Structures are given as structure tokens and as C-alpha cells.
Amino acid sequence: MFAFHKITSNYSSTFDVYQKTLDMKQVLSLLTLMFFFSCGREAQIASPNAIAMGIPSIDFYSLKTKTIDGELFSFSSLKGKRVLIVNTASRCGYTPQYKDLERLYRMYGGDNFTIIGFPSNDFAWEEPGSDQEIAAFCKSRYDVTFPMMTKVKTSGSSGHEVYQWLCNLERNGVADARVSWNFNKFLIDENGRWAAHFQSSTSPMSMEITTFASGK
């Protein structure tokens, strides 16, 4: 009886180990099947395979907009640079992120990295001012020196072409995304490929973003 119990216990222990191993394999398989993204509430991060295999219908460098001063801005000028694109607002709880965006830009901005800000009044009417008023606010409150563009819509069929590209898998070749609030952040790699999308609560000085900005 004792021997039987011992054998049964050993079998049970062996089965438990096997089950745990199987569960781990299932977890690893699930992670592998998450081919395109490491996704969470705060981030969508494209895998290298997703970036390499994605075929955009619209070239990122073909996009155009106007600066906050009304001058034409061609995205072809961004070739070879890693880019952070952020939708901004002057009366938002996240508005103080301007400080860290500027800090990030002063640390890494230059030939290899830049930040592009797009003011938007899409969420709770928190950016009601004109381009001139927004530019004055950014300069006086946060001494912003990174490029700021004209105020745009970020969502829906009337969204600016840059945001149509950022949020549409068919256009960018990598991911669908949704701008959920002010200060969502999109990362574009040095080849003009969609790389990541972060929600408003992700700090510009987070490890993920600073690593991207530094090129490490």
C-alpha cells in the first residue's frame, strides 16, 4: 500500500511537472503567435518581423503638412531619422509632458532623431487656440524647440493624412491604432516604418522611448 502510494505520488509529481512544462510551452506559443505586437493597455510595439514584412500602401516620406508657422513641411526631410509623433494640447492634464518632450529632444534631437508635435482639439476641446496662440504658449511655458505643426484632426475619416497613415494598417503596412487622447506617441524608425504606439500616460522619458530615441 505504501509502495502504491509512493508510486502514485511520484506519478502525480511527474504529471504536475509535465503540466507546468506544457503550460509554459503554451504560454511561449502564445507569445510567439503574438507575431505583430507586444501589446498592452499602454503600448503597441511592432516586432522586427512585423516591421520587415509589412508593406505600406503609402510611403511615410510622401506625407506632407504645414508647420505651425504656415510653411510647407515635407516628410521626405525626415529620411534617415527616428521620429516621435505626438498630438498635443495646451489645457490637458498631460500638457506638462511638453517639458519632458523638450528634454528628450535636447538630449537626442539632431541628424538621427526628431520629435514632431501636432496640436489637436479632438479631445475635450483642450486645444482651442489658433496656431499663433499655441506657438506662443509652447515657447513661453516650455521653451519648445522641436518642430510643431499646424493644428489637425487626429481621428475619423476627416483625420489628417499623417494620422490616417499612423492609424491604418493598410496605409502603414504594420498596424491599426487608435488615438485615445492627447499626447499619444507614435514611433517611426529610420526607414520610415511604423514601430510603436504609446498611450498618453507613457512618459516621453520612459525607457522604451529613450532607448528608441538614442538608437540603442
Which of 39, 92, 138, 167 is catalytic? The answer is: 92
Q: Please indicate whether residue 138 is annotated as part of the active site.
A: no
Residue whose C-alpha is closest to residue 87's, from 115, 45, 111, 59: 115
Neighbours of 147 (CB within 10 A): 17
List C-alpha distances in Å: 141 to 27, 96, 198.
Answer: 48, 9, 24
Give bridge partners of residue 38 from the DSSP assignment.
45
**Is the torsion defined by CA of 200, 203, 207, 213 positive or negative?**
positive
- As given in the structure block, the three cell numbers for residue 72 are 510647407
% helix, strand, coil for the chain, step of 5 = 40, 20, 40
What 3-state class would DSSP assign to 22?
A: helix
| DSSP conformational letter for 88 | E
Residues 44, 97: Cα–Cα separation, whole Å:
20
Residues 196, 208: Cα–Cα separation, whole Å:
10
- As given in the structure block, the three cell numbers for residue 164 are 490616417
List the catalytic residues: 92
